[in-house]
Amino acid sequence: MTRVDPRRHVPRTDTLLAEPRVADAVQRLGRVRVKAAVVDAQNRSRRGELPTDQVVDAVLAALPAAATDLRPVLNATGVLLHTNLGRAPLSAAARAAVELAAGTCDVELDLATGGRGPRGSAAIAALLGAVPGAGAAHIVNNGAAALALVASTLAFGREIVIARGELVEIGDGFRIPDLLTSTGARLREVGATNRVSRADYAAAIGADTAFVLKVHPSNFVVSGFTRSCELDELADLGVPLVVDIGSGLLTPHPLLPAEPDAATALATGATLVTASGDKLLGGPQAGLLLGAAGAGAELVGRIRRHPLARAMRVDKLTLAAFEATLLGPLPPVRLALEVTTDQLRARAERLVARLRAAGVEATACDTASTVGGGGAPGVVLPSAAVALPERYAAALRAGDPAVLGRTEHGRCLLDLRALAPESDAVLAAAVLAVAGRQEGVLPDAQRQQGVPPAIPSGGPCTS
């Protein structure tokens, strides 16, 4: 009797690709990616590692949810603007605007005439509406680009006067002085690292001075024997005053009294203000350039026509998301900034009750959050967290969706300030999925009773 090679029963490639669930994956992810998963599953089956009736399931399990390697991550770090997580999450309004703009749209078309229209005019109008003191505005692809474009336009072959204490590193090894000198400008450093006066600036200004630059040291605080100059001290030096506020706060915020904002900077004498769009403004990655009425507006016009402005131009998706962020409801970052500690504690206690009822070793506790993203250094935001055994941290990062918390004093803390309330159910499910794979859950009999142990409320996470 002839023995049939079991490998002959492995489904053919075209048969697998035609299977309805696999065919649907082809529509979502593309044929190349899906076919590679099919071939891998077939080879595993031929080697005897996978039963032939499980090949389709293996193909589907190997495929991502979307045609990108990016994975969704729940930000439970307590850092509102986490650079490694893409800083500000977009609002629902901004996401809807991106979906609209993803198709063909009138980004640069005048529908009334059928001719070319002004690109980004609606986003610019929204920005000027948010900062009425500005006479003109321009949007580029990030905050560093805004500052580089100003320097390229106004200071090529000339000097920029800047305090030594403001020659900061902005992240990933990039530094303000390197950025500025790469544009062909020269730096005239004034003052000492910790102290600078108006007289230092005034003495440095000459015929070769393009502008005075004031940079907000947005990711650190210098204390002790220090002195810096306020904007009104520098506004009458006879040259443009360019102010890089960093975080993109457009108007003053009561919780961040020391954080510079665009409206105040312009009102106090800044000629030009540069900022980021994906930080405290709460929008997509963008660089903002605002000019004061009169001389500042004229400079924005020059800057907009510089050849490098084309290289730094934002795409339609950014324009759409930016406009929707300004005109729509408060973005997630603002909601996270303004949520009360009592609201956070109540959420933490509800989550802990659910987790402990399922046998998870969890407690609710007080903790502290930060703004992050190079904004509001030194500002502490009271918060609340769910505390788990430290072993949960790595397992939660590997989950789907991934959860990023932080570890302190031998525990994994899931800080709720940067998480929207509607994420709580997803967070609980992620923790329960990890608990099902780890030791330390309560016996079935106790879990079935549905009565969790007492929950410590309001205690510090560091106790």
How confident is the model over 437-447, as a mean pLDDT?
Answer: 49
Contacts of 2 (CB under 8 A, 6+ apart): none
What confidence tier does 324 reach under pLDDT thresholds 50, 70, 90?
very high
- In 3D, which of 86, 69, 88 has the Cα closest to residue 420? 88
User: What is the pLDDT at residue 451?
Assistant: 38
User: What is the pLDDT at residue 228?
Assistant: 87
How confident is the model over 305-324, as a mean pLDDT?
Answer: 97
- Asked if residue 456 has pLDDT above 50, the reply is no
pLDDT digits (tens, 9 = 90+) for 361-393: 999 999 999 998 877 877 899 999 999 999 999
Contacts of 336 (CB under 8 A, 6+ apart): 80, 417, 418, 419, 420
What value does the mean pLDDT of the chain take?
91
User: What is the pLDDT at residue 220?
Assistant: 63
Rounded CA separation 278/247 (Å): 8
pLDDT digits (tens, 9 = 90+) for 130-164: 999 999 999 999 999 999 999 999 999 999 999 99
User: What is the pLDDT at residue 377?
Assistant: 78
User: What is the pLDDT at residue 69?
Assistant: 87
pLDDT digits (tens, 9 = 90+) for 272-294: 999 999 999 999 999 999 999 99
Query: Which segments within 71-133 are labelled E, that is strand?
Result: 73-75, 79-81
Contact 440, 356 (CB under 8 A): no
Q: Which residue reads 């106004």 in tokens?
A: 154
- Asked if residue 440 has pLDDT above 50, the reply is no
Query: Phi and psi of 13, rounded to 5°?
Result: -60, -45
Contact 426, 399 (CB under 8 A): no
Rounded CA separation 289/134 (Å): 10
pTM of the predicted model as reported, rounded to 2 decimal places: 0.88
- Asked if residue 207 has pLDDT above 80, the reply is yes
pLDDT digits (tens, 9 = 90+) for 401-411: 999 999 999 99
- Asked if residue 56 has pLDDT above 80, the reply is yes
**171 or 348: which leads in pLDDT:** 348
Rounded CA separation 403/73 (Å): 5
∠388-393-397 over CA atoms, to 5°? 135
How confident is the model over 114-142, as a mean pLDDT?
Answer: 96
Residues paired with residue 403 on neighbouring β-strands, in sequence order: 74
User: What is the pLDDT at residue 376?
Assistant: 80
What confidence tier does 450 reach under pLDDT thresholds 50, 70, 90?
very low
pLDDT digits (tens, 9 = 90+) for 179-190: 999 999 999 999
Question: What is the distance in angstroms between the CA of the first residue and the CA of the last residue of the chain?
Answer: 74
Contact 110, 438 (CB under 8 A): no
Rounded CA separation 346/444 (Å): 27
The DSSP 8-state label assigned to residue 2 in this structure reads P
Peptide bond into 329 cis (omega under 30): no
What confidence tier does 462 reach under pLDDT thresholds 50, 70, 90?
very low
SS (H, E, C) 5-32: CHHHHCCCHHHHHHCHHHHHHHHHHCHH
Q: Which amino acid is at 290?
A: L
- Asked if residue 195 has pLDDT above 50, the reply is yes
Contact 179, 144 (CB under 8 A): yes
How confident is the model over 232-241, as a mean pLDDT?
Answer: 95
Q: How far is CA 55 from CA 7, 47, 50, 63, 285, in A?
A: 12, 12, 7, 13, 42
Query: Which segments within 351-430 are labelled E, that is strand?
Result: 363-372, 381-389, 402-404, 406-408, 411-415
User: What is the pLDDT at residue 286?
Assistant: 97
Q: Is 345 helix (H, G, I), strand (E, B) or coil?
A: helix
User: What is the pLDDT at residue 1?
Assistant: 47
Contacts of 296 (CB under 8 A, 6+ apart): 134, 135, 136, 240, 266, 270, 271, 272, 290
pLDDT digits (tens, 9 = 90+) for 243-277: 999 889 999 999 999 899 999 999 999 999 999 99
Q: State which H helix or E strand residue 190 sits in.
A: strand 186-190
Q: Is 313 helix (H, G, I), strand (E, B) or coil?
A: strand
User: What is the pLDDT at residue 409?
Assistant: 92
Contact 233, 198 (CB under 8 A): yes
Q: Is 235 helix (H, G, I), strand (E, B) or coil?
A: coil
What confidence tier does 221 reach under pLDDT thresholds 50, 70, 90?
low
What confidence tier does 35 reach under pLDDT thresholds 50, 70, 90?
very high
